[in-house]
Amino acid sequence: MYNSTMRTAPGRMLIATLGCVIMSIGINVFTTPLNLYTTGLMGYSQLIRSVLVEDFGFALAHIELEGILYYLLSIPVFFITFRSLGRNFFLRTVAFALIFSATTALIPVPAVPIIEDPLTCVVVGGICVGAGDAMVLTCGCTVGGLDMLAMHISKKTGMQVGRFTILANILLFLLCFFRYDFSVVLYSIIYMVFASLILDRMHQQNINVQALIFTKKMDNDIPKEIMEVMGRGVTRWQGEGAYTNEASSVLCVCINRYEMEQLERIVKGADPQAFIITTHGVRINGNFLHKV
């Protein structure tokens, strides 16, 4: 059922929305009651929330401030990165950042931890956030945050995405250390490790597919649309049917697993008679964009 749902755009959006809910549960139900912090932009949002609530007594009835703060902090990131992201990817990011912010704002934080042992809370929370994030990413979406900014900086400066993320989280942990104590930092690091492990285990967006497209259309319409809409490079050969001796065009494009439906829609829309051969799990080295 999961695989059949993933093959349709509405199904992927439904699964991505469910992923947002699971992430918010992991944050609000398991980490926030212990005054622990997640990573990235949500971690900074939680820290700002703590300052507003604990130092200034500012709170909203039945609404968790970190959800609203997350989206407010995301707005500058949207403005910085929108030119470097594809239009469809950017729109999905804006939409699911809003969904994630809303679910985080509306899911109530328990007055006391539902699990007394902090380590267990951290592990369960990390698993929820990692699994939910993987569901969102696997559907070709993202909830934004510092990952978008890291991708933008990487394109502009060549700095590795992982290095930027680590530096941003180190700064967050230092701020937590000066405000609280080392135990908060330690549990937050454990949370980050478990969330990352689950995310890497479940995220299948990096399963690469090589597609060979055979079409009688000799113009540049199909490759042009693939490059413009999907942001993927296309290599073309001139072929000839062995039986008919008719000229044909052979297109080669490498994509990730969940871009397959979009590719088929583009090709079949331009040439219903075209056929596609796909090879899954190919290894690609060189100039290939591994999308979030």
Highest mean pLDDT among 2-16, 55-69, 74-88, 153-167: 55-69
pLDDT given for residue 101 in this prediction: 93
Task: Considering only CA atoms, give the Rg of the chain.
Answer: 22
Q: What is the pLDDT of residue 151?
A: 67
Q: Which residue has the tokens 């969904």?
A: 99
Domain spans of the chain? 2-202, 208-280
- pLDDT band at residue 85 under the 50/70/90 scheme: low
Confidence of residue 22 (pLDDT cuts 50, 70, 90): very high
Residues 192, 207: Cα–Cα separation, whole Å:
24
Among 86-90, 125-129, 177-181, 236-240, the least confident range = 86-90
**Rounded mean pLDDT, 26-51:** 87
* pLDDT above 60 (res 291): no
**Token representation of residue 34:** 């212990």
Choose the weakest-confidence range: 41-50, 92-101, 150-159: 150-159
In the three-class reduction of DSSP (H, G, I as helix; E, B as strand; rest coil), residue 201 is classed as helix
Cα four-point dihedral sign 278, 280, 283, 285: positive
The region of weakest confidence among 25-34, 48-57, 145-154 is: 145-154
pLDDT for the residue 7 = 63
- Which residue has better confidence, 91 or 5? 91
What pLDDT, on a 0 to 100 scale, did the predictor assign at position 194? 82
137-149 tens-digit pLDDT: 777 778 888 777 7
pLDDT at 154: 65
pLDDT at 20: 93
Please name the fold of domain 208-280. Answer: Alpha-Beta Plaits (3.30.70)
Chain centroid to CA 125: how far?
18
Phi and psi for 77 in degrees, rounded to 5? -65, -40
pLDDT for residue 99: 93
**DSSP character at residue 52:** I
Instruction: Judge whether residue 29 has pLDDT over 80.
Output: yes
Q: Which of 166, 152, 161 is nearest to 78 (CA)?
A: 152
- pLDDT (average), residues 273-278: 88
